[in-house]
Amino acid sequence: MLRMTVSDEDQLERALQVLPEALQEATRQIAIQARTIAEGNSPYRTGHFKGSWSEVMPVSGGMSYSFENPVGYGEMLEYGLYPSLGPRTAVFKGRIYSRQAIHADLGVAGVLTPTLEDVTLPDRIAATLIEEITRRMEGAGA
């Protein structure tokens, strides 16, 4: 009989020990990346909306982070709620959006939606988590 057993309980135990903190930090880093993408997707004509994004902040009671833009017309930009067509608006998928909020190459419109539709996001989340676990394990003397 030929048998191979691969087990490194110490490595696994160390990985599990650093996992909660690594998840917390990876979540924060992904939120910062999402905020940066949202800022990049923001209309820039006056710079008011683009410059009004909050910092990424922890949400109390969990492993969540959020950011927001308090400018009153944010929902209009995100959901194509302009009341009529004008020189800086266009119809996209039956709604009226700011031309600057249409991402035809992705097939979406809005400011936050393109971030959620980013096909590389799951890979970036996994890579960030792996990097953070590795960094913490190396720092713990693994």
What pLDDT, in 10s, does the model give residues 26-42? 888 889 989 998 998 88
- Dihedral sign (CA 50, 51, 53, 55): positive
More confident residue, 87 or 46: 87
**Average pLDDT of the segment spanning 58-62:** 82
pTM across the whole model: 0.77
Mean pLDDT value across the chain? 85
Task: Please name the residues in contact with 63: beta carbons below 8 A apart, sequence gap of 6 or more.
Answer: 23, 24, 27
* pLDDT for 46: 84
Which DSSP state fits 45? S
Q: Taking 80 as the threshold, does the pLDDT of residue 69 lie above it?
A: yes
